[in-house]
Amino acid sequence: MSERCAERVWDGWHQHRCTRKGTVQEDGKGWCKQHAPALAKAKREERDRKWQEKWDRQDKERAEAKAADAEVQRRADCYDDLLAALERILGPSREALEVIKALDRGEGVTGYNAKDLANAITDVETAIAKAKERA
């Protein structure tokens, strides 16, 4: 085995052989642990795998954010139709707006009979269907 590593390295201005001792025999040459082709390839593959995992995670997060933005936009596009449907059933727009806010918060709506709410739901579903057709 050679005394020094067979790798050629740059010092910024010149190229010279690595100064480390050649401890790994590969391809008939001596290499240090940093420059041994098999070890360097394994390190590079591990580093690339970690980066790819990070990029995949970022891509997934971006896709989820894009889907959330699309859902917000879909709801915003339906808002006027929803408000109009609720105004027809519930009366003044202030009251309809309070119902929408309560529904957005996931709260139940009280004080309205089941038939009126069923009609409101049908109107809302129609408004959503129209919005999907537009999209």
| Tens-digit pLDDT profile for residues 4-55 | 999 999 988 899 999 999 899 988 899 999 999 999 999 999 999 999 999 9
Q: What integer pLDDT is reported at residue 94 of this predicted model?
A: 60
- Compute CA 100 distance to the chain's CA centroid, rounded to the nearest angstrom: 29
Q: What is the mean pLDDT of the chain?
A: 79
What is this structure's pTM? 0.49
Rg from Cα positions in the chain: 33
The CA-CA-CA angle for residues 64, 66, 70, to 5°, reads: 115
By C-alpha distance, which of 117, 68, 65 is closest to 89?
117
* Residue recorded with tokens 């727009």: 93
Contact 110, 75 (CB under 8 A): no
Assigned token pair, 52: 């790819």
**Are 120 and 114 contacting, i.e. CB atoms less than 8 angstroms apart?**
no
